[in-house]
Structure 1
């Protein structure tokens, strides 16, 4: 009886400790943000919100953000749904490698895609010059809304695609065969049978795309050319050379959170109404289509992957070109890499140092959170589960402003330190490892732990010796995904960094802004290489060739 009480107490203490940690590094900064937004000259005021909605310059950024996020979400759906369906039902040569390329294209930072398309289709881009000089034909303008839409759509399609691949595998083929036997055409079968089954998955993937598009800072900043979105507006107002207004930036941040929270709750409500479980006793099998349909399928799949991976390949290519000042010239050279290491070598070291420290904390905390939320269900663990979901809703720029407002004075003066960067990395990327760790705990039979306890093992000995080793595949999967997103983080770190904490993503961004495309391409190539190597390690350790979401 005493052992049972101790077991309960120790996991309760762990849960309380983690909640206190979240309260300190997440809730307190967000409360500071809220307080700052409603306070002016030391008194409660709505002046900042009135200022936002009074001037078109400001509130147009809200409409721009909604326009971008909705357009990107719809465009991603239009591509991802047929892509997942084709990859599930039709035999496509090289499918294994195509899956990996789709995944790799989603892991590179979006702002690298923006930079790549500027090199390709910008005013002095290689494709622009070729079309103008050869055919006297102008290319579409890649800047503004169009450019943001293209870059983010190509970047975010894989998120919905990965959700849908799991959903299609859970559809019982007997349902499709029954529909076709009743005379339904392939198209009507998709609309009447398959689409209703995958609606919850579509909503989940769409939410993730919406949140990522809403939070993105680098893409509209690089390719937007005056097409301001809310993250860009927050950054400009907070860091303005004319004297940033923290209160106004905080008010805009609150508006962003309200928009994100509204969409999140709406999606949750609809998903709960539509949710159900599927079990495929007779899963969908690939088959070779007739000639025309097969050709169309190949053109669609390979066409999308070419567009998605082309910008990344072109960046790598330009990294090996000779440069003269800020422009590329004929010939190949390693000068850009040499200059990158000379001028930005510290950014590579900072990326690994800050990233690995953050990753160590993420793994330790995620293991505990996953265990208590799955195995020790209570009001407190349910609250902890909700807290761990907040980073999905809060965009990176908002979190950056929150941390600076919360930790800008003694005794909590952390601004400008490595600690505040690590806190930001941990908060934003912890959910990836929590999710994958929790998923694998659900697969571990509780009777195994009960057997260990019945043999006299303490709760921690059982956890350490039995449960933790069985959790490791899920932990490793989440940790590698957390790592890949940490090293490409920009929207939060751009507000928090100093010279001593400048990472590769910030280095790439600043070099692009300065027009040093060779150095930017070299740093981007190194970052892409690290990303690909990390994913290969993920595949090797897990035995998978795709990432399940």
Structure 2
């Protein structure tokens, strides 16, 4: 009877989680699909015909794919060597280097675009300096500008993944390769890259998805280079009114495209399935001479470029502006103006939304991880699969699907903080869920069985033994989730109003209004939040870095 109750307890958890995902994810996506194929009460594919009948529309698919692939390639080219130098060699200031690398990615991508406009736009600081020495025509706008900004923002994600992968390599394998004459560059490509290929593919997919779904960077510096997220936003909030039918159809196409990319990555990963037991982890060794100079130069110059936008934005937050016209001198006038532009409300909403969302994500992610690993069955695995669906969905798709479902009574949630919390919980769940699942898989089940055999209940064992042992994995995923929550743009820009505005949306609104000094204030405060978050993580976990 007691065992039955225990089973019933976890069965109830499974059904509650499934019900939540059906209500807040599956049902909205179903309504999105319905909106895409139903017009005036009848089945119609006219929206899809309109999309594929005009090059401007279907060309956005190829534009987004080209950007995603280019950013993915550049991020891998930059991130893998960075992680290799960091993991295998004793670089000077390693911890500072890694922290700065993380800070480079811990902000909304569009903030980097905004900063580079200030630096390399038509009247940017760098642009003026180049013109003064006779160099013209260099611009941040267009395809290569998007690739440049997104790559600097996303390559640290590759570093995070690859740093963990390199540390899991057993040094005896590398020594064996050297004894067989496989050294230097040859060893790197034939042994190290082969051993870390599953991680490389996972990092590549994450970068591609983040690039593909990015709304802010293309909308600011695309200059007519249409991408999927921008097209969805324009159809939903176009000058001629919202076209839900067409926006829904584009959203469905976006999901199909990203799902295909996801499946391709999964098939490729399956060809590299193996396990590594790192009994003798790689120890970073000293490096001297020209090699040391080149390694340090590569890493520090790259980090400097990634950090430059944020440092410049902080500087610009204190510069005197007359709306969009830069004036001489420094002051706190921008901060005073920001207070008038709902600064306190933006901060309050950001804190409420981020912490409530993160708390929900952690609880659900831990439960899903336990169900999938310790109580694996078809039903629990289905919950896991459904929870991962947002991983392949642009934020605008989530936003539109929730509006279609919860904009009418009795479920009128549009314009509330609750709908933003729901959207962010759904969208950012996969980060913590995957991390928690990986953490619990490393915990031997015999530890839990020993606790139970000593008289502890299953609930007590779960709460006091299993969850604390999962802590590092949970925190790593939670950090990435929290940062992505407070910098969320693509779904928030569709869901917000003046009562629910956040720091990121306030920044975007100020940029589009040409109030650049105030925008810099909002962006600076967002950066401060991410810095505090990272410092607290490193301090309380005593970790040297973040691993996935």
Shorter-chain TM band = over 0.9
Can you give the 5+ residue segments of structure 1 that lack an aligned partner in the other structure?
none
Does the alignment pair 1:421 with 2:406?
Answer: no
Contact 1:322–1:329 (CA under 8 A) maintained in structure 2: yes
Q: Please, which of 139, 142, 147 is the counterpart of residue 140 of structure 2?
A: 142
Query: In the TM superposition, what is the alpha-carbon distance from 1:473 to its structure 2 partner?
Result: 4.2
Can you give the 5+ residue segments of structure 2 that lack an aligned partner in the other structure?
none
Count of residues in Structure 1 that have an aligned counterpart in Structure 2 = 547
Contact 1:121–1:139 (CA under 8 A) maintained in structure 2: no
SS of 1:148's equivalent in the other structure is helix
Contact 2:435–2:474 (CA under 8 A) maintained in structure 1: yes
Does the alignment pair 1:339 with 2:337?
Answer: yes
Change (3 A) 1:290 1:360: closer
Instruction: Determine the structure 1 residue equivalent to 2:64.
Output: 65
For 2:289 and 2:174, locate their aligned partners in 1 and report how far apart those are by CA, in whole Å. 22
Instruction: Determine the structure 1 residue equivalent to 2:285.
Output: 287
Contact 2:476–2:547 (CA under 8 A) maintained in structure 1: no
Contact 1:432–1:479 (CA under 8 A) maintained in structure 2: yes
Query: In the TM superposition, what is the alpha-carbon distance from 1:127 to its structure 2 partner?
Result: 0.8
Q: Please, which of 218, 224, 236 is the counterpart of residue 216 of structure 2?
A: 218
Does the alignment pair 1:271 with 2:269?
Answer: yes
1:425-440 mapped onto 2 (5 Å cutoff): 425-440=424-439
TM-score, L = length of structure 1: 0.96
1:44-443 mapped onto 2 (5 Å cutoff): 44-133=43-132, 135-138=133-136, 140-345=138-343, 346-443=345-442
Root mean square deviation, CA, Å: 1.7
Contact 1:3–1:458 (CA under 8 A) maintained in structure 2: no
For 1:199 and 1:468, locate their aligned partners in 2 and report how far apart those are by CA, in whole Å. 30
Contact 1:19–1:384 (CA under 8 A) maintained in structure 2: yes
Instruction: Determine the structure 1 residue equivalent to 2:31.
Output: 32
Query: In the TM superposition, what is the alpha-carbon distance from 1:348 to its structure 2 partner?
Result: 1.1
Query: In the TM superposition, what is the alpha-carbon distance from 1:455 to its structure 2 partner?
Result: 4.7
Contact 1:33–1:401 (CA under 8 A) maintained in structure 2: yes
1:439-458 mapped onto 2 (5 Å cutoff): 439-458=438-457
With 469-478 and 222-231 compared, the bigger mean Cα shift is at: 469-478
Contact 2:323–2:514 (CA under 8 A) maintained in structure 1: no
For 1:125 and 1:294, locate their aligned partners in 2 and report how far apart those are by CA, in whole Å. 34
Instruction: Determine the structure 2 residue equivalent to 1:516.
Output: 515
For 1:85 and 1:437, locate their aligned partners in 2 and report how far apart those are by CA, in whole Å. 25
With 36-45 and 440-449 compared, the bigger mean Cα shift is at: 440-449
Q: Deviations over 1:326-352 (max 9, x none)?
A: 222221111111211221221111111
SS of 1:499's equivalent in the other structure is coil
TM-score, L = length of structure 2: 0.96
With 226-235 and 445-454 compared, the bigger mean Cα shift is at: 445-454
SS of 1:158's equivalent in the other structure is helix
Contact 2:432–2:474 (CA under 8 A) maintained in structure 1: yes
Q: Deviations over 1:264-299 (max 9, x none)?
A: 111111101211111233333333345222222122
Change (3 A) 1:440 1:240: same
Contact 2:116–2:309 (CA under 8 A) maintained in structure 1: yes
SS of 2:546's equivalent in the other structure is coil
For 2:422 and 2:288, locate their aligned partners in 1 and report how far apart those are by CA, in whole Å. 54
Query: In the TM superposition, what is the alpha-carbon distance from 1:507 to its structure 2 partner?
Result: 0.3
SS of 2:358's equivalent in the other structure is helix
